[in-house]
Amino acid sequence: MSDTFAITIIFIILATIVAAFVRRKSRDKCLKDFLHDLVTLEDTTGKIIFGKLRVENTGLEFTYPTNHKKGNSDNEASYILYKYEYSNIQALIRYHDELSEGAKKEREKELKRTYHPGVLRKLKRKIQNIFKTVKDSVMEVVNLLISQAKRTTPAGAILTSQDKHISQMQKELMGSLGASFEPLLERHIGHRVVLELIKGEKLFKYSGVLKEYTAEFIEIMDIDYTVKEDQPARKTDIVVPRKYGVVRHLGE
């Protein structure tokens, strides 16, 4: 009995460590591309937040260029958006004219690398897509092995008793591997596309370069965008949730 108890405790500790490590390291790739840049958050209610972006697995933080003070409240130095609030995101906007000179140069280099990518960049992406393609198959094999172990090995009872921890660990590992391969989008990476974006009851179309996609977001570079229709459009890069934005056409 003591051996079984010890094995159970060790398994729980190992599962917790693995899940915590993966959770700490995994961040959405589209969101990471705007890391440390000055970014405007447009939410679905029309609220606007502006600041230097920090990206964590659990959410986003926008550090204001200057402290905000409302009424008699304390100074507000940043705005935190938790992951469970991602459904409120309309768009994350990186205006070119708000970037520092150094950031502008880096952004131009990235656009050149993205638009009609070279052989090495295409090869790198193909290798990444191999892992995306086999991800689901690998997890199916893992699930099969665990199920088999539950039925046929002495540790089966222990594994069964730890279903909650096993499921949590598998969920964290799956999330860390990124979005599944999407062939409809993949062939247009690095090309100009037409993005359809739902804002309230209206549908808007924007032309830009498809940079990246994940399970939740699409990243488009070099588009003309404005938050309000009565304002002039400005050159931007944007990240939009896939629930509101879809790549509808090849634009070249």
Which residues, including other chains, have CB under 8 Å from residue 4's CB and lie 6 or more apart? 158
Domain locations along the chain: 29-114, 184-250
Which residues, including other chains, have CB under 8 Å from residue 56's CB and lie 6 or more apart? 27
Interval 169-217: pLDDT, tens: 555 555 554 456 788 998 899 999 999 999 999 999 999 999 999 989 9
Predicted TM-score (pTM) above 0.85: no
> What CATH code is assigned to 184-250?
2.30.30
Q: What is the DSSP letter of 58?
A: T
Q: What is the pLDDT of residue 1?
A: 44
Q: What are phi and psi of 239, to 5 degrees?
A: -120, 125
Least confident of 57-71, 185-199, 230-244: 57-71
Same fold? 29-114, 184-250: yes
Q: What are phi and psi of 75, to 5 degrees?
A: -60, 140
**Stretch 209-238: mean pLDDT, rounded?**
94
Cα–Cα distance between 159 and 146 in angstroms, integer? Answer: 8
Let me know if domain 29-114 sits in CATH 2.60.120.620: no
SS3 118: coil
- H or E stretch at 104: helix 101-114
Q: Percent of the chain having pLDDT more than 70?
A: 67
Interval 118-162: pLDDT, tens: 778 777 777 776 666 666 565 565 566 556 555 655 555 555 555
- Specify the amino acid at residue 240: V
